[in-house]
Amino acid sequence: MTVTEQEIAEYVGRVRAALADLPPALREELTEDLPEHLTEVAAEGEGSLVDRLGTPEAYAAELRDAAGAPDLKRRKLDQRVAGMVSSILGRLRALDRRLGPPLGYATGSDFLRLLRPGWWVLRAYLAAMLVTVVTTGGSLGLLPRFGGELLAGVVMLIGFLFGSIWLGRRSERLRRWPRLALHASSVVLVVFGLAGLADGERRAGYGGYDPIAVVNPYDQVRDVFVYDSEGRLVENARLFDQNGNPIRLGYPDCRDEFDPSGGSPQGNPLLRPYPYCPEQAPFAPRAPVGPSTAPALPPLSSPTATTSPSPSSTPAASRTPEPTATADPGATASATPTPSTTR
């Protein structure tokens, strides 16, 4: 024999590859005993397989022709769709078989079949809840009601239960249209159940409160400074809300250093009048320079925008040329005027 088994296997492999577009079952049917056939052919004469039979691709084309196998590219659309459907069904069956053993059954559908009575109970409940929604107008609890009546709803649920189980045991024997109607209503109930589930989940979430982070804008307040219309700091001011309750903001963090007695008759530092620390006032009480410049505080503008009219600035003062060069620079720096702003 001049043809080796390996040559035959190679030839068969290339023929199969050339038929790869065929449905697996058909390809298998065509080529399952091709190795044996080629072995017979090889035993009958001399020369390599390609010499005697042509290339594997040509052999595959002839085989496809002779066996009446359709060329997939030439098949009609409906045949292709049918082929696709059957291949999907085949794949689902394979999946079904593969899912079985992990669940402890021969196939996955064997397991699902055991759950069918559970579905019958569930669909009776869903149907009762659907009637509840229709008769009571949307307000949905967990128990069925009929027109708002709980007892009637429970009676209805029990009736549906028996009906559903009876229907479930008969559904195999139903004819085409009743069965289709049953399946369609099952789909409706499933959609209704999912919608109800989503609704309940939404209503249960966060106890009805929107999860918004509340930031108190007064958290940063440490002290309160009240100015009158003339821009003068008001000391010992008290703040009250519309009910006469004192408004407590900030905390006295400076008084103990300067005045251990606190100046507060109540002793509770939080009941002291504002400001706790007058010396930290953002706007300095200015000595009356003139009536025209008296309103030093523009009450409606932010503190950063206020520029003090005082001309003194320490760097400029220290940089003034000193011809004698005997003066200590530290002395000039310390000789700054009263600071007009602290922030």
Partner 1 sequence: MDTTQLLKGVLDLAVLAVLRAEDGYGYDILRRLREAGLEEVGDASVYGTLRRLFAAGLLTTYVVPSESGPHRKYYSLNAAGRDQLARSGKLWRSFATTMDALLDERGAAA
**Contact positions toward partner 1, by CB under 8 A?**
1, 29-30, 33-34, 36-37, 39-41, 43-44, 52-54, 58-60, 62-69
Smaller CB separation from partner 1, 38 or 127: 38
Give how far the C-alpha of residue 53 lies from the chain's centroid of Cα atoms, to the nearest Å: 63
Q: Which is nearer to partner 1, 59 or 160 (CB)?
A: 59
| Residue number with CB closer to partner 1 (54 or 159) | 54
| CA 13 – CA 31 distance, rounded (Å) | 10
Alpha helices (H) along the chain:
5-18, 24-31, 34-44, 49-53, 56-66, 77-103, 108-114, 116-136, 150-170, 176-204, 255-258, 314-318, 329-334
**Residue closer to partner 1 (CB basis): 1 or 188:** 1
Nearest approach, Cβ of residue 6 and partner 1 (Å): 15
Tokens linked to 141: 């609890």
Q: Where are the alpha helices (DSSP H) in 115-229?
A: 116-136, 150-170, 176-204
DSSP letter assigned to residue 245: P
C-beta of residue 281 within 8 angstroms of C-beta of residue 225: yes
Shortest Å, Cβ 69 to partner 1: 8
Cβ–Cβ < 8 Å for 247, 241: yes
- For residue 101, the minimal CB distance to partner 1 (Å) is 33
Rounded to a whole number of angstroms, the minimum distance from the CB of residue 85 to partner 1 is 22
Identify which of residues 41 and 226 has a Cβ nearer to partner 1 in the complex: 41
Nearest approach in angstroms of CB 90 to partner 1 is 18
In whole angstroms, the minimum distance from the beta carbon of 37 to partner 1 comes to: 5
By C-beta, is 66 or 213 nearer to partner 1? 66
Question: Token match 């932010």: residue?
Answer: 302
Q: Is residue 221 within 8 Å of residue 250, measured between CB atoms?
A: yes
The single residue listed with the structure tokens 């594997």 is 56
Of 33 and 71, the one with the shorter C-beta distance to partner 1 is: 33
Q: How far is the CB of 56 from partner 1 (least distance, A)?
A: 10
Give the integer Cα–Cα distance in Å for 35 and 28.
12
